[in-house]
Amino acid sequence: MPREDFIPLQYRDYAYLEVPLPLPGTQATISCPHSYPLFYEPLGLDQGHRFLEVGTGSGYGSAVAREIVGAEGLVVSVEIDPLTIAFARANLEGTAYRDIVLVQGDGGLGYPELSPYDRIAVTAACSTIPPPLTEQLAIGGRLVAPVIEQETQNLLLLEKTAEGIRTRVIGEVLYVSLRGAYAV
């Protein structure tokens, strides 16, 4: 997935540096390149999965996910900022993936219309994992989210089983804060 196609013109020379870069909108960034495997590998994102992303940003994460889940899977991505989602929509129009479902709204509420999801990635930092997201996760599903604990943000992996919810910390990260009903 050509990352430079998801970056504003003035920053394209930096497309492959391990840094987040600014996007149109309030507080939106394209995350640094390693953050996509950091999220998608513990998720075990795979072919055929129904995937929900909270925070579309550039659209790059959605495009990479669509590449992984394939035509049998589904990618839904929710972005709260109208300028940012317009940028993502324009970027995704340049790809082969016209079937990614982009929704403008509060991703903390998920997108119940197309739930349940096998995998969910929250790409903005929250103080707790928004309950609607756990509800919209299928049994056997996994979710990753940066969760603020005191001064640090920990990337949490949550697994939902028939017996209950398990979480573990993957590592420390730094993301922009979640807005909306579950704002920090």
Q: Going residue by residue from 11 to 40, which x/- string records binding to ligand SAH, judged by CB under 6 A?
A: --------------x-xxxxx---------
CA distances from 132 to 52, 129, 137 (A): 12, 9, 9
Residue 124 within binding range of ligand SAH, rule CB under 6 A = yes
Q: How far is the CB of 128 from ligand SAH (least distance, A)?
A: 13
Residues 128-147 that bind ligand SAH (CB under 6 A): none
Q: Give whichever of 33 and 116 is closer to ligand SAH, judged by the CB atom.
A: 33
Report the distance separating Cα 110 and Cα 117, nearest Å.
10
Per CB under 6 A, 110 contacts ligand SAH:
no
CA 43 and chain centroid, separation: 12
Instruction: Give the count of residues interacting with ligand SAH (CB under 6 A).
Output: 26
Residues 74 to 93: which contact ligand SAH by CB under 6 A?
A: 78-81, 84
Q: Tell me the angle at which helices 60-69 and 82-93 cross, rounded to the nearest 10 degrees.
A: 50
Terminal-to-terminal C-alpha distance of the chain: 32
Structure tokens at 26: 């309030």
Q: Measured from the CB atom, is 1 or 138 closer to ligand SAH?
A: 1
Residue 31 annotated to the active site: yes
Tokens representing 108? 């903390």
103 binds ligand SAH per the rule CB under 6 A: no
Contacts of 25 (CB under 8 A, 6+ apart): 81, 82, 83, 84, 87
- The region, left, alpha or beta by phi > 0 then psi within -120 to 50, assigned to residue 90 is alpha
- The correct pick among 50, 61, 117, 119 for binding ligand SAH (CB under 6 A) is 61
* Residue 155 binds ligand SAH, judged by CB under 6 A: no
Residue positions annotated with a catalytic role: 31
Applying CB under 6 A, the residues found at the interface with ligand SAH are 25, 27-31, 54-55, 57-58, 60-61, 78-81, 84, 106-108, 123-124, 176, 178-180
